[in-house]
Amino acid sequence: MLTLTQVKNKSAARLTGLLPVVAAAAERLTERTYKRGVPIVITQGLRTIAEQDKLYAQGRTTAGSIVTNAKGGYSYHNFGVAIDFALLSADGKEVYWDTKRDGNANKVADWAEVVDEAKRLGFAWGGDWTSFKDYPHFEMTFGLTTAQLRAGIRPTAAQIAAAMAHITKEDSYIVKAEDANDLIKRYLQPAWAACKQKGDAAGMQEAHRLANELRKASGQKEQ
């Protein structure tokens, strides 16, 4: 039986390069599903545009079968806002894509338990798509299309702050102090400064409140 740390270590490399709030949500998802007796592994995170192009070529201009309909820049993976997962056996030696598997024997498919937790954390699920269902896929798009992302548009500090606050609220675990401080530094301090410049007192207060929520959740003193 793997410990939570061992399970998280299996996915750690895949979280690199993700938008920090998406990485935090993926980490929480791994913790929360583990608590349910459903260990998971994140199999895919950020995919560079070159990697996506290579994947798109597979089954078209290179050997193998077609695995994606998205060219480079047309997948949310290319912008660090999507993850794919698979189920893990208790000893971590087997990986499953069986959506009916019930490893924790609670008569609910493990896959559905993972989807349930992911949605609560604010992810949208590829299995809900009508045209091409992508069961291992979760994304947090902040209402942006890949066209907007290709054009360089990114989620606003307010959107990130709201998503972060949601994750913190949903999370019964203590957030790591370094993660909390990283998120504060990257998003909430710039959001606060931007509000200050606009003379938006309510915005400043909200950014301050969210930063303190994160500090509290990570066992630090409020400021």
Q: How far apart are CA 96 and CA 59, in angstroms?
A: 24
Under the criterion CB under 5 A, does residue 137 sit at the interface with Zn ion? yes
Q: How far apart are CA 213 and CA 217, in angstroms?
A: 6
Compose the 69-88 pattern: x for residues touching Zn ion by CB under 5 A, - for all others.
---------------x----
Q: Which stretch binds Zn ion (CB under 5 A): 6-14, 50-58, 109-117, 135-143?
A: 135-143
Q: Which is nearer to Zn ion, 138 or 192 (CB)?
A: 138
Query: Least separation, in Å, of the C-beta of 201 and Zn ion?
Result: 41
Write out the two tokens for 32: 């929360």
Helix ranges restricted to H, the chain: 4-12, 20-35, 49-57, 110-120, 146-150, 157-170, 177-183, 189-198, 201-217
Tell me how many degrees the CA angle 175-177-181 measures, rounded to the nearest 5. Answer: 110
Q: Which is nearer to Zn ion, 27 or 84 (CB)?
A: 84
Query: Least separation, in Å, of the C-beta of 137 and Zn ion?
Result: 3
Query: Least separation, in Å, of the C-beta of 33 and Zn ion?
Result: 17
Q: Which is nearer to Zn ion, 77 or 215 (CB)?
A: 77
User: H or E element: which one contains 70?
Assistant: none
Could you list the residues that contact Zn ion (CB under 5 A)? Answer: 84, 137
